Structure 1
Amino acid sequence: MRTAYRVVALVISVAVGLQVASIALAGFTVAKDAGDGVAIGADYTNLGQSYHSIAGTAIGVLALGLLVVSFLTEVPRGRVLAGVVVGLVAVQFALAVVSFGLPALGVLHGLNGLAIAAVAGAAAGRAARQAGA
């Protein structure tokens, strides 16, 4: 189960990196589309935005999976790290919702995403060190 813990934590970390890439894609696509005269309104969406939304939900599911797996393995402080990941993901969802009304909070959404990647990476590293990998 230690390997499962390590893999899920690593997947979360990589998924957050893909989130960063997808939101950059979304921003540059909006800029290009606006420059091309595309109307950017409430019904506008692009690949980066769609991916970011769907993958964010997947990260939430993975975080819950990490928490479950943490109770089935003996990674030192593994439960605490998994709990922190879940907590940060919950904050992430709240920041996403609130940031649409108060866009400046989007900065915190971005920084919190990096914190999720860091804690998940630390969890993966802890599991790898214990396994001697």
Structure 2
Amino acid sequence: MRAAYRAIASLIGLAVVLQVASIALAGFIIANDADDGVTIGADYSNFGQSWHSIAGSVIGLLALVFLIVSFLTDVPRGRMLAGIVVGLVVLQFLLAVVSFGIPALGVLHGINGLAIAGVAGTAARRASIPAAQPATSG
């Protein structure tokens, strides 16, 4: 189960990197479309935005699976780290929703995304530490 824990934690970190890339892509597509005279309004969307939204949902599902797997492994502080990832993912969703009304909070959405990647990376590294061996007498 340590391998599954490590793999899911690593996938969450990788997914966050792809989130950062997709929102950067979205911004550049918006700038390019605006330069080309495309009207950017409420009904506007582009590939980067769509990918960011879809991948965010995948991260949410991965976080829940990660929490479940954390109860099936002996990774030091594994449950705590998985719980923190889930909490940060919930906060991420809330920040996304609120940021549409208060765009300045989008900064916190970005910072929180990096925190998710950091905690997931820490969890993956902890899963790489060999489990403590019981002492043998003899």
Range into which the TM-score falls when normalised by the shorter chain: over 0.9
TM-score after normalising by structure 2: 0.94
Give the match for residue 113 of structure 1: 113
CA-CA distance at 1:129 after TM superposition: 1.8
Name the amino acid aligned to 1:8: I
In structure 2, the partner of 1:4 is 4
Higher helix share: 1
Count residues in correspondence: 131
Residue identity matched to 1:72 = L
Task: Deviation per CA, 1:76-100: give whole Å up to 9, x if none.
Answer: 0000000000000000000000000
Gaps of 5+ in 2: 132-138
Unaligned 5+ runs, structure 1: none
SS of residue in 1 equivalent to 2:129? helix
Distance (whole Å) between structure 1 residues aligned to residue 27 and residue 106 of structure 2? 13
Give per-residue Cα distances to partners, 1:7-40, cap 9 Å, x unaligned: 0000000000000000000000000000100010
Max Rg structure: 2
Segments of 4+ moved more than 6 angstroms: none
- What is the letter of the counterpart of residue 65 of structure 1? V
Alpha-carbon distance in 2 for matches of 1:82, 1:17: 18
- Corresponding residue of 2:80: 80
Q: 1:46-105 CA distances to partner (integer Å, 9 max, x unpaired)?
A: 000000000000000000000000000000000000000000000000000000000000
- Measure the CA separation in 2 of the matches of 1:55 and 1:67: 18
SS at match of 2:130: helix
In structure 1, what is the equivalent of residue 27 of structure 2? Answer: 27
The letter for the 2-side match of 1:80 is: M
